[in-house]
């Protein structure tokens, strides 16, 4: 007899920002959601688990980032500390939120020891659900400093998009390897499904952890002292206007 079971789990993992003085590096939150459906099949093999190959599909969503002017830009916790006596005004901020989810069809069989389930089809979805560039409203839009800040932030955007695609490929490979050997066992269907859910989460997590680590390194390579010094030299007229607006001496 066939049945359909829905379940879900959520977890957040936030990426610590790379330290810098003018621009905030990325914040990353990974949300995990899982939905499973379980039609019964007649096939069976030793151990009470049904036989059959599993198919894994990947759906990747990465829309272009949204660019907007913002009021006060607040850097993340753990960002760069201001030098002694310095007052910082953050000019730009790029944020990225990545979510992954899955839908799974399972084969299952009930035996004397309970339920044994195996994946038949897994659809992974990895999406950049929020990707935003914010530039301080005090900077004249379209001017020299605006363009410089935007160009800097778009380097962070390029990192986010490249690491997302790399993580998606690794997650698919991990899911394929997991699906070929996965079993979920328990006294009830819910317990068997929960075991599969946890197994998939553990299989994919290294790809997500690798993405977080790669982003940290790549964003830090962008936000260097040399880059800050360059940004402090260019667009002198716009910087003078900005200091005047902020009530700071030249």
Encode pLDDT of 171-221 as tens digits: 999 999 999 999 999 999 889 988 998 999 999 999 999 999 999 999 999
| pLDDT level of residue 236 (50, 70, 90 thresholds) | very high
27 or 104, greater pLDDT:
104
Q: What are the sequence ranges of the domains in the chain?
A: 23-246
pLDDT tens digit string along 136-151?
888 889 999 999 999 9
User: What pLDDT score was predicted for residue 89?
Assistant: 62
Question: Residue 37: enclosing H or E segment and its boundaries?
Answer: strand 28-37
Label residue 164 left, alpha or beta by phi (over 0 means left) and psi (-120 to 50 means alpha). alpha
Whether 13 and 208 have beta carbons less than 8 Å apart is answered as: yes
Question: 129 in helix, strand or coil?
Answer: strand
Whether 122 and 200 have beta carbons less than 8 Å apart is answered as: yes
Question: 99 in helix, strand or coil?
Answer: strand
Whether 45 and 24 have beta carbons less than 8 Å apart is answered as: no
Q: Where are the beta strands (DSSP E) in 62-211?
A: 66-70, 92-111, 114-136, 184-186
Q: How far apart are CA 96 and CA 122, in angstroms?
A: 26
Q: Is the pTM of this model over 0.95?
A: no
């Amino acid at each position: 007899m066939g049945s359909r079971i829905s379940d879900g789990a959520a977890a957040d993992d936030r990426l610590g920002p790379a330290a810098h003085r003018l621009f905030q590096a990325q914040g990353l939150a990974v949300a995990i959601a899982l939905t499973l459906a379980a039609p019964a099949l007649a096939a069976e093999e030793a151990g009470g688990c049904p036989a059959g190959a599993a198919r894994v599909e990947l759906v990747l969503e990465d829309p272009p980032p949204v660019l907007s002017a913002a009021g006060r830009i607040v850097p993340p916790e753990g960002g760069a500390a201001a030098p002694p006596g310095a007052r910082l005004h953050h000019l730009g901020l790029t944020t990225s939120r990545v979510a992954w989810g899955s839908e799974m069809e399972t084969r299952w069989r009930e035996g004397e020891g309970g339920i044994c389930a195996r994946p038949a089809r897994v659809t992974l979805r990895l999406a950049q659900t929020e990707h935003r560039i914010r530039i301080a409203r005090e900077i004249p839009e379209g001017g020299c400093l605006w363009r410089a800040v935007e160009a800097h932030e778009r380097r962070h955007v390029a990192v986010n998009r490249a690491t997302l695609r790399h993580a998606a490929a690794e997650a698919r490979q991990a899911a394929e390897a997991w699906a070929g050997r996965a079993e979920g066992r328990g006294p009830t269907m819910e317990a068997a499904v929960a075991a599969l859910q946890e197994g998939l989460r553990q299989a994919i997590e290294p790809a997500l952890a690798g993405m977080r680590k790669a982003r940290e390194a790549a964003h830090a390579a962008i936000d260097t002292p040399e880059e800050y010094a360059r940004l402090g030299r260019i667009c002198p007229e716009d910087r003078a206007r900005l200091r005047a607006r902020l009530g700071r001496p030249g």
